[in-house]
Chains A and B, each alone.
Chain A
């Protein structure tokens, strides 16, 4: 079968790989019909996540048809078209029982801090991902969810990560009616966070990025205010001015380790990896939220240290909330938001690319060429 093959930083291609095997009674094999490239994949693509082995297949956002199931699978059956949450979660461990599906303790041998994630390095469990024709899906009784018959698979594939993550970013902000929410990042996650902030009753939604076509898109899509940080002397002062010199009630980090905009952070966090990614957005968020405000972090950082102004977290009494999204917890609500027409996630898809052209697709998404926001890869077996 065809699968993406990582060869080293910023080098990927498609190769023939063996068809995946059932390794556990609760496994299923899924034939992928669509998979996405995510901002999270860029951390891997840039070679910034430790234990990303050459020969791995990325891809944690995919939908597909169940081809084969292990003997203990009874919640889905061969032929079902399912969306697969990006978390590999057992549903039984103490953390899954508490709804923390992004923190499962039965899916990752290599690290305890993070649960298993499809196609996301050995630090996240060493699973091959969905940027392929077929993929092994463990815990098939728990994760995969049958796509409702009236739902477009393009909407469904955005329910595997991006919409739930934007939604959880807003939820973790603890937004109260009337609150001013500032979102850093106008990528797919920031866009969905902006849209979701209104659902929680935000009074003002402000999005900050440096890429104008993304800012223009989110301004129209999520009816929010947008600003380009390249046009500000100091983003923190800018936000203070914008909020009557009080600061935002809630700041959301939807950028993570790849953040630009600060030379020192870029050199230490992105070029030399002396810290686990650039902490520019954490600085801006902590310093521009009001005293007693909340900073919600969904941007992903590496596992070591970051230069973060923790002193001001103390001085200002800030609450920081963060997690890998517990995708499955949000599905019932978000499916309803889509079916009722309140939110149309598929509107953010700008590129549909054959799986074979994956190298160009990564390059375009990473360099933000051709007004790219979200890329969907279509395997050859799903194109007939």
Chain B
């Protein structure tokens, strides 16, 4: 504080009401004031990069350690790369990522089929547990889906008849 005060002698009253106890983040944060020194800590060793890692444009370089699972690929990967042109405060970042997630789900189905694996979607959704613990709910769900499908099909075939 004394050191800092020397820097601000040109400002009348600088720091006169400073109150270190008025800290809403305590005890979450031990004050070191080292954030005022910027990106200046003794960094851990740098992990070497062996897969594509997308990097937020709000940071100058990769962190010392990063995850390497499921690198961006295919159309979803293109969308993700595009998203990383924008900062985290931008819809241009998050909306393409959400879209990529939906595209990725379809890519996942295609991958499964390519590998000769037909995914058991009912099992993946845990319907066995639904049947065991909430059979009535499951029946209702199936009935509603059937009804909606029937209504949609009926609606569109009626239109076709007219045209």
Contact = CB atoms under 8 A, between A and B. Distances in A.
Interface of A: 7-13, 23-26, 47, 50-57, 72, 88, 90, 92-95, 97-100, 105-113, 116, 122-123, 125-128, 138-139, 168, 171-172, 273, 302-304, 319, 321, 323, 326, 359-364, 367, 369-370
B66 A11 contact: no
Given A50-B97, A111-B56, A360 B63 contact: no
A323 B27 CA distance: 12
Given A112-B58, A126-B68, 12 more contacts: A7-B119, A11-B125, A26-B44, A50-B98, A54-B104, A92-B42, A95-B35, A97-B41, A106-B65, A116-B65, A138-B47, A171-B27
Contacts of A363: 125-127, 129-130
Contacts of A105: 59, 63
B28 A113 contact: no
B55 to A, nearest CB: 5
A107 B66 contact: yes
Contacts of A362: 126
B121 to A, nearest CB: 6
A9 B105 contact: yes
A369 B56 contact: no
B54 interface: yes
Contacts of A72: 45
B29 A99 contact: yes
A54 B108 contact: yes
B66 A125 contact: yes
Interface string B117-141: 0011101111111100110010000
A163 B120 CA distance: 36
Interface size bracket, B side = 35 or more
B52 to A, nearest CB: 11
Given A94-B41, A370-B133, A55 B70 contact: yes
A316 B11 CA distance: 33
B29 A98 contact: yes
A123 B80 CA distance: 11
B122 to A, nearest CB: 9
A12 B124 contact: yes
A47 B121 contact: no
B153 to A, nearest CB: 23
Contacts of A109: 53-56, 59, 62-63, 66-67
Interface in B19-70: 24-25, 27-32, 34-35, 37, 40-45, 47-48, 50, 53-56, 58-59, 62-70
Contacts of B64: 24, 90, 106-107
Contacts of A57: 69
A360 B126 contact: yes
Interface in B66-91: 66-70, 72, 76, 80, 83-84, 88, 91
Contacts of A111: 56, 88
With most chain A CB atoms within 10 A of its CB, the pick from B67, B97, B133 is: B67
B33 to A, nearest CB: 9
Contacts of A9: 105
B105 A54 contact: yes
19 contacts: A11-B121, A13-B124, A47-B102, A51-B83, A51-B100, A53-B69, A53-B104, A54-B108, A56-B69, A72-B45, A94-B34, A108-B66, A126-B53, A126-B67, A138-B65, A319-B24, A360-B126, A363-B129, A364-B129
A110 B134 contact: no
Contacts of B107: 54
A54 B70 contact: yes
A208 to B, nearest CB: 24
A98 B58 contact: no
Contacts of B35: 94-95, 98
A113 B130 contact: no
A116 B67 CA distance: 8
Which 4 residue pairs spanning A and B have beta carbons closest together?
Answer: A363-B126, A126-B67, A8-B105, A360-B129
